[in-house]
Structure 1
Amino acid sequence: MLRSMYAGISGMKNSQTKLDVIGNNIANVNTSGFKKGRVTFQDMMSQTTSGAQGPTDARGGVNAAQVGLGSQLGTIDNIHTQGFRQVSNNPLDLALEGDGMFVLQDENDATFYTRAGNFYLDDSGDIVNPDGYYLMGMNEARINLPETAQSFSIQTDGTVNYIDGAGVTVVAGQIALASFSNPAGLQKAGSNLFLDSPNAGLADAWVTPETQGSASIISGSLEMSNVDLSEEFTEMITAQRSFQANTRIITTSDEILQELVNLKR
């Protein structure tokens, strides 16, 4: 069979993977804290028909002759650029301006990380995310606002203050951030959550905001998705044309095979 046919198949499969990633990006264009994906490709091994030869006294050098066998998936990257900020005026909507991620823990003390800052108060006064995971403060402490709290505020350095029944300002805790040298190495766990991985480079899971190059916390705002629709639609067009071109390679190869079959007639 013709090598071009198998090369075309590999190109079609890769174009489909790229369209899958683009579709996921567009589906999450309004998801708080979402980080877009990107696909890169690599060429597959090439078949060498003749090797390279160095120059001699009698003649010059000869380059290798190689035929490529198609393309393969290189990487599917998570792009952790800053998303735009949407003002909500809800004091429990928190946006990160800079590097870092919120630290969450579930009832089993499993740790998750997120950039989605839409938090709520549960019945006990703990600050939680939509799945009920606790927003963690410094010293691995939960942040709790008692029933006697008249009002509260969250500062840019993560300090949570509230006014008690006597009108005294009390510090409820300080929100902690996690610092990663390679946030693209985090694994997506769904529900706007990320998990640590051996390649994420967790530098410190309990960083004070606005220190060590970590982000500031903006209360009353949400960081939205970093998906750019114009970029995604452009990439969708290129992926579609790539798919069509690879199908044309397959149909052309099929026509050549048909001509070979018809030689016997």
Structure 2
Amino acid sequence: MLVLLPPSETKAPGGDDPPLDLDGLSFPTLNPVRAKLADALVELAGDVPASLRALKLSERQRDEVARNAELWSAPTMPALRRYTGVLYDALDVPGLRKAELAKAGKRLAVASALFGVLRGTDRIPAYRLAGGSTLPATGPLGGLWRPALEPVLVAEPGLVVDLRSGPYAALARVPGAVTVRVVSEDAHGRRTTVSHHNKAYKGRLARVLATLPREPSTVDSLIRAVGRAGIAIDRVGECELELAAGPGTG
């Protein structure tokens, strides 16, 4: 089972591991695109105003451009510790026991505008690049990633649970992947998509999937396993699930 997580714009700073080594990352067939984008980001960082425009950053975020300038020399850390924010707070990687962390490293993968997809244990530097970005040297990211990334994800054995957000799902389609929509239900049984707490619920779901004693092999077995962990989830299509959020969310 592979659980595809969205990345986060915010990244933990620093790291204790050596600089980026593409050959040490999972899914090595993606390395040519990774190298092209990394070089393009470093080159673009030499022109701070152009970087701010391309990355849609404000003047107060010039430090993000400085991070990109140091992509090849900055220290690294595992992807599951690099990404931060609401989803990753709910995932709570620091709170995982050693055996759970080993499972999470194998089962969880992070979609990335720069790296395509990463295993949780892959060591990466801090950087700034969003899925909807267009770099002057490369054009829209979808045109680069789709031909390289889609075959990699389609070839992944077992269930693929796709929790990516829209801009990252657009970088590569995964036919047959299990998708999850977070919904709330009113007193009349009407369901609406949850927006504000969406990331937190997906983070909790990812934590459950990462730590299950056994990997589910079918959608039905996934639903049963998640239900035993206390998360209400329903099947609304062949590969579409709805996760029922608590009352008052939206």
Which is richer in helix?
2
Which is richer in strand?
1
TM, length-normalised to structure 1: 0.20
Larger Rg: 1
TM, length-normalised to structure 2: 0.21
